[in-house]
Amino acid sequence: MLKYVSIRVISAVVTLFIVITATFFLMFLVPGGPFLSERVNQQTIDLMNRKYGLDKPLYVQYGNYLKNMLKGDLGVSYKRRGYTITEIILEKFPVSARMGGLAILTALIISVPLGILAAYKRNTPVDRVIMIISTFGMSLPSFIISVTLLYILGMWLKVLPTIGLQTPQNYIMPVIALALNPTCYIIRLMRSSMLDIQGQDYLKTARAKGLPEILVLFKHALKNAVIPVITYLGPMTTAVLTGSFVIEKIFSIPGLGKYFIDSISGRDYPMIMGTTIFFAAILIAANLIVDILYSVMDPRIQY
């Protein structure tokens, strides 16, 4: 167990290191340099290059970048003068994290009971309706969901505010838009895993000794049926995070996803790099945690 965890931690660190290296060289190996689009003379460009250490050989820059990153310093933003990238991330990320966290919670709270319900009511109209809706909802692109919600609830019926995150009502539409795809996916996952374990001996035993169905479900079935959902938590974090790029744009939410997209159009290369590495680190960490959680939850797995 300890060996497995340490191997997973080491491989996550190696992956992150490779991502950092690849990002660094992809952003710096290309011709032109970051100040190509600025309409200034060569002298100014040289000055700016010296200021940001871009006149040094590439390996020195790479070494410096790694050294600074260990100290938590991701460099300075070219566009938002006077702010370090770490400061910007610390300012913007909590907004995205709160919204994403709410979306993940909502998805779990809605989908797990619905999945169980569909499994218990197998092949009845209830099950069919749930399955049809979830199959369709799974393939709806998140930006189409949010635009539809925005138009119907925000502009046509005018029941919800459309911009920003000032009041609790503001969270409703972005959270629904972010949570819909994962919800539909988990419903199907939960249903099929509930059906899978129905034939298991320990459930037959539990029922045979006369336990009420509610206890069978909570004490015996749920613990095992929920394991596939745990493994999906990693991909779900990815989906919510990439979904936030477009949803923050649509609902004008000042989070890191929107800032990331804006810095791409604004060609703020250190910001793009810093954010990419930050996102990658979060997702690699999330997958690591899920993997470890999975091995704790399912003692049948031997390492």
Quote the least distance from Cβ 180 to other proteins, whole Å.
14
- CA separation for the pair 53, 270 (Å, rounded): 12
C-beta separation of 149 from 195 below 8 A:
no
Cβ proximity to other proteins: between 10 and 144 the closer is: 144
Cβ proximity to other proteins: between 179 and 250 the closer is: 250
Quote the least distance from Cβ 146 to other proteins, whole Å.
10
DSSP track, 97-162:
HHHHHHHHHHHHHHHHHHHHHHHHTTTSHHHHHHHHHHHHHHTS-HHHHHHHHIIIIIIIS--S--
Quote the least distance from Cβ 25 to other proteins, whole Å.
9
State the residues that interact with other proteins by CB under 8 A: 12, 15, 18-19, 22-23, 26-27, 29-32, 36, 139-141, 143-144, 147-148, 150-151, 155, 192, 238, 241-242, 245-246, 249-250, 261, 264-265, 269, 272, 276, 279-280, 283-284, 287
Cβ proximity to other proteins: between 12 and 48 the closer is: 12
Cβ proximity to other proteins: between 121 and 188 the closer is: 188
Work out whether the CA dihedral 53, 76, 267, 237 comes out positive or negative: positive
Query: For 286, what's the count of Cα atoms within 13 Å in the CB-facing half-sphere?
Result: 21
Quote the least distance from Cβ 299 to other proteins, whole Å.
25
| Tokens 């309409």 found at | 39
- Paired with 76 in beta bridges are 84
Cβ proximity to other proteins: between 126 and 138 the closer is: 138
Cβ proximity to other proteins: between 30 and 208 the closer is: 30
Angle at 25 between CA 243 and CA 271, to 5 degrees: 45
How many other CB atoms are found less than 10 A from the CB of residue 239? 21
SS3 84: strand
Quote the least distance from Cβ 165 to other proteins, whole Å.
18
Cβ proximity to other proteins: between 77 and 276 the closer is: 276
Quote the least distance from Cβ 26 to other proteins, whole Å.
4
- CA separation for the pair 189, 84 (Å, rounded): 42
Quote the least distance from Cβ 263 to other proteins, whole Å.
10
